[in-house]
Structure 1
């Protein structure tokens, strides 16, 4: 992959857009249902945001590592770079959790960025070992598929004895024992210890997609066919697994890994056809801009969510002080959007604002990489 693959850039931007969209409702009292995570089992649009983010990160792993191997960079140096970036992501996650109070006695430890860092570390090391073991891309892809399947199947049997209910599951037991007082909820965390294991499989599914895109001995249409085949296998596996273990983002069930991976693979196949084969990415450029500095956009948008959005605003039109984001929604969006969709429109407009900011940075070649 000597030049940038636009479909990957678009998918990355779409993942960032989903995360910003779902994390910033204009009015939490009537947040659009598809922008809310399911409290336990089931799926909504919001539940695809984080897996897509992990998958896109996984897609880039073969690109980066193969470039370094081509430049004769040693394994120790590559692993060192991977380890440093992973630590940075974990530390940024801790910073975001603590901001702005930094109460270390009760501060949440798991985080989205920490999980990204852990998945990046393990997925990179697995890919590097497999790549050094096999020169043929077919064996590399096959090995990654086998390893992913072992993790997905192993995780199912690992947590099955404890059940999949919100009370008594293995995630709850492990989190409450090792991280008590430092969780998103009293006894468990959606980015907890045990559920990080299957998220590594999510990252490896991204690596498989990256290997397909990077495959040098097949043409573009075979790459699309390969991703569609991967998505079909994922849909079938998700359907079978969902009969015994439901879709559940909160404990990242095996069926959840497969369904999100399948949707991502199909999305990438379609985007690759449109953006890289037919070169028709024009209308999708805002997502390219947004995805050019993904961690930066996510980090700053979360800082804003924890500060500016929480500033109380006093307005004579309302009988009580309102949080800033809710005040903006009720004052400027609700009058024309109505009470049913005002929160959704606020979120969409906020994403569009970030697209505009990102386009200005992109135009000046100011790509903020973390």
Structure 2
């Protein structure tokens, strides 16, 4: 639903990092693929590889885009829900609001996956938006029910331990325990038993049921990060240093798990993946926090903030608005005259049109909220 943004103070680094994250989804990654292809420059080729998902186990930069968005949705919770708690709103009312939002995102995800085509035999019910919504619902509920950071941290750790236990210790019929393959991992078994509709991975779904629960730990990690930053009131180098140390701890823990034979698998949201992604997310957020929130007059982040304040809008718009055709209409002539660089010109045109749309909505103070 569209509404006007309240004039409340915002954590600009949060909007900027979310916008930076979304840009890779809506075309910046494709732009770098074309740039690497057109120039043949070695480091661009290496970065282009990083902008592809790993087939199964392992970790590349592109595998962090979705987790970063979920982490940032958690960072925003102490600011959004905390403010309403301070105004005296009841936890029951806020829980109802949280789950209304979660279920609306599930519905939007189903629609995004083609529900309006009414082909129910091939409908996929799991979705990116659904996982964001349900993981947010779990994490935000814990934020409201568990009043201390220690209790929330215990919940977060408990989820990570439980997921690891399920994936490593529960025997899957026909495979046994600890088989971390697409058809042997416990996620696949649970999805085939309980998840309705078509599974995106055939025998599993990367946004399946256990993935949602596991991802809620990363969202809860974002809540812990946001709560800690908020507790300092003003930006603090001490707090930033503590966050960098926490991120390092998560990375070390993830590296140890990987070394012991429990790899990061984004499609199954293993605990190792959560630890490594969480550490990198904390570092990225801290970096943006340091270079933006500590310098209130800085303006370089504005292009990112425009995208980051309307992420749902552009995600859904890409599904229904023919941006490639619009780019071809405006830039097709330049693309034709650019020879081998024509595809690059059109992709750059798509990004420009998308950003201008979001800038227009920002100017009108209209944002899509759920």
TM-score, normalisation: structure 2:
0.83
Give the conservation status (yes or no) of the 8 Å contact 2:182–2:203. Answer: no
In the alignment, which residue of structure 2 is the partner of 1:320?
none
Q: Distance in 1 between matches of 2:331 and 2:275?
A: 37
Equivalences, count: 343
Query: For the aligned residues, what is the CA RMSD?
Result: 3.0
Structure 2: unaligned runs, 5 residues or longer = 1-7, 38-44, 169-176
Q: Over residues 296-345 of structure 1, what are the superposed CA-to-partner deviations in whole Å (9 max), with x where a residue is unaligned?
A: 111111334xx676x8xxxxxxxxxxxx9999999865974848xx7677
In the alignment, which residue of structure 1 is the partner of 2:93?
77
CA gap of 1:214–1:178, structure 2 versus 1, over 3 A, is: same
Task: Find the partner of 2:181 among 161, 165, 169.
Answer: 165
CA gap of 1:297–1:216, structure 2 versus 1, over 3 A, is: same
Give the conservation status (yes or no) of the 8 Å contact 2:229–2:235. Answer: no
SS at match of 1:367: strand
Give the conservation status (yes or no) of the 8 Å contact 1:26–1:344. Answer: no
SS at match of 1:105: helix
Moved more, 149-158 or 115-124: 149-158
Give the conservation status (yes or no) of the 8 Å contact 2:327–2:349. Answer: no
SS at match of 2:207: coil
Q: Distance in 2 between matches of 1:210 and 1:79?
A: 19
Shift of 1:13: 1.0
Shift of 1:146: 2.5
Give the conservation status (yes or no) of the 8 Å contact 1:82–1:121. Answer: yes
Structure 1: unaligned runs, 5 residues or longer = 135-139, 312-323
Q: Distance in 2 between matches of 1:221 and 1:337?
A: 50
Q: Is 1:362 aligned to residue 362 of structure 2? A: yes
Shift of 1:177: 2.4
TM-score, normalisation: structure 1:
0.83
Task: Find the partner of 2:159 among 151, 157, 165.
Answer: 151
Shift of 1:173: 1.5
SS at match of 2:266: coil
Q: Distance in 2 between matches of 1:22 and 1:102?
A: 33
Q: Distance in 2 between matches of 1:280 and 1:236?
A: 36
CA gap of 1:100–1:269, structure 2 versus 1, over 3 A, is: same
In the alignment, which residue of structure 1 is the partner of 2:18?
12
Task: Find the partner of 1:121 among 137, 150, 159.
Answer: 137
